[in-house]
Amino acid sequence: MNINLAAELVGLDRIINSDPVAITFFIGYMAMFASAVFFFVERGSVDGKWKLSLLVSGLITGIAAVHYYYMRDFYMQTGTSPTAFRYVDWTLTVPLMCVEFYLLTKPFGAKGSTLTKLIIASVVMLVTGYIGETSGIDNNIMWGIASTLGYLYIVYEVFAGDIAQLAKGSNSPALNRAMFLLKIFITLGWSIYPIGYMVLPGNLLSGAFEVSSIDLFYNIADAINKIGFGLVIYSVAIAETAKNKKALA
C-alpha cells in the first residue's frame, strides 16, 4: 500500500500535508500532558496550602490532555471541529480555573458564595456559547452576546468584585504579581475565544479567516491559558514556600 494512502486512512495525511489545525491538536495534546505531569510532580516541592492549588493546575491540564487526545483523533478522521468534546473540556476546566481564584484569595476570607457566583457565570458563558456554535447561522450572534455577558461578569469579579477586594487584603508581593498576571490572562488570553467564535458563518468575522481556523484560535488560546495560568500559580507557590523556609530558618 502506498504510504500516502495509508496515511490518509488514519487521517495522518493532515499532518503530512502540514495542516496547521492538525499540528496544533498534536502539540496541544503533548503540551497539556507534559504540563500535567509537571504540576503533579512539583506538588511535592511546595508548602501544604499550595499543594491543592498545584493539584488543581494538574487536573486542568490533565483533563485538557485527555480531551485533546480525543479531539485530535476526531479532527484527523473527519476534518471537522470537535465542538462537543471542546465544550465538555471547557465545562470541566473553566470552573476549575475559578477554583484557583478562590484558593488564592481564601487566606484573605474568600467565601464559598464567591466561588458559586464565578462557577454560575462560567456555566452561563459556556452553555450559551455551545448553543451558539451549534444552532446555526441565524442566532449565533445573539448567543455570543449572552455568552459574553457571563464572561464579562467573571472579568468584573476579578477586577472589581469579591476577588479584587480580597486580594487587596494580602501584603504578599508574590500574590499581587500573580493576580496582576492572572488578570492579563482572563482579559487578553480569554478574549482569543470570542474572536475565534466570531469566525463562525454568519458572525462578525466570518470570511476574514477560514472556518477551520476557529480550532486554531481555540487550540492556541487553550495552551496559553491553561498552561500559563498553572505556571503563574506555580511561581507564587514556589516564592511563598521559599519565604516560609527563610522565616523558619
User: What is the binding site for ligand RET (CB under 6 A)?
Assistant: 90, 93-94, 97, 125-126, 129, 132, 144, 147-148, 151, 190, 193-194, 197, 222, 225-226
Count CA atoms within 13 Å of residue 53 on its CB side.
26
User: Within 10 Å of residue 66's Cβ, how many Cβ atoms?
Assistant: 16
Cell of 87: 465544550
* DSSP-assigned states of every residue in 25-93: HHHHHHHHHHHHHHHHHHGGGS-HHHHHHHHHHHHHHHHHHHHHHHHHHHHHHHSS--HHHHHHHHHHH
CB-nearer residue toward ligand RET: 75 or 190:
190
Q: What are phi and psi of 206, to 5 degrees?
A: -60, 130
Least distance between ligand RET and beta carbon 87 (Å):
8
114's grid cell = 464567591
| Residue at shortest CB range from ligand RET | 129
State the minimum distance, in angstroms, from the CB of residue 198 to ligand RET: 8
The residue among 133, 154, 130 whose CA lies nearest residue 198 is 133
Q: Which is nearer to ligand RET, 76 or 200 (CB)?
A: 200
- Quick one: 126 or 158, whose CB is closer to ligand RET? 126
Shortest reach from residue 75's CB to ligand RET, in Å: 17
Q: Between residues 97 and 115, which has the closer beta carbon with respect to ligand RET?
A: 97
Minimum CB separation of residue 237 from ligand RET in Å reads 20
CB nearer ligand RET, residue 215 or residue 222 = 222
